Structure 1
Amino acid sequence: MKWHGRSRRSYTGKLLKPFRKKRKYELGRDQVETLIGERKIKKVRVKGGDFKIKVFREMFANVYVPSEGKVVKAEIKTVVENPAHVHYARRNVITKGAIIETSVGKAKVTSRPNQDGVVNAVLIE
């Protein structure tokens, strides 16, 4: 669990004393790196009572084919390119903006699997 808040130091370097304790709404969480494999998810309660579905592993993606105007369920083979991090493509980590190789062709991920609970993509033609 990670906490966020004001810095312990002022801009001059003086140590600042805490004026209150930590609050739950200041809580941050570690990023989940979505990999290719048998589907594994976790539901996390967030502020307001809503839920985020974190995807640890996923085998399939909902790929939109613009020429046909249809969405097909395609198997994810590998991650070709990932602009989020240099080594994500090598490790097959899926994030938003990643280019994935699917059974219907290359596609660009448009969803955030770490928060949406699903891998949506648009076919690159």
Structure 2
Amino acid sequence: MAIWQGASRRLSTGAKVWRAAKKHKREMGRPAAETQVSDKIKRKIVRCRGANLKVKLEKTNYANVFDQANKVCKKVVVTNVIDNKANKHYIRRNVMTKGAIIETEMGKAKVTSRPGQDGVVNAILLTE
């Protein structure tokens, strides 16, 4: 079944809403990229509405980590995912999403970018 991101057919009261028009292509959705920690770097370029491009990062083991104390940003290797509030099963599968806590060479960092839509992993170093 296709992923559809249009309005719901039900109101908050539970009443059914009869659509005045059919489903449109602009309401179509896509499955999430679910960026994983891997030695291979894999990107996917997708054309979006209005001829825009979206870079989906599918696999990577690098992140741009910003150290707030020293005001320095470095490209470091990501070893694994420690915590992910989006889905508890993402921790075991090493899936990075926005807000995930990752283990890097510099220490623990929190992902601030959206790797599945931005195509890059940006993070801020956490102070212990």
Which of the five TM-score ranges fits, normalised by the shorter chain? 0.7 to 0.9
Shift of 1:70: 1.1
> 1:1-125 alignment to 2 at 5 Å?
1-8=2-9, 16=18, 19-37=20-38, 38-125=40-127
- Please state whether the residue corresponding to 1:84 is helix, strand or coil: coil
Cα deviation code 1:4-54 (max 9, x no counterpart): 3344567665684x5433322111111111101111010111122111111
Identity %: 48
- Please state whether the residue corresponding to 1:115 is helix, strand or coil: helix
Unpaired segments ≥5 residues, structure 2: none
TM-score (norm 2): 0.86
TM-score (norm 1): 0.88
Unpaired segments ≥5 residues, structure 1: none
- Please state whether the residue corresponding to 2:59 is helix, strand or coil: strand
Q: How many residues align?
A: 124
- Gap change, CA 1:48 and 1:105, over 3 Å in 2: same
RMSD, aligned α-carbons = 1.9
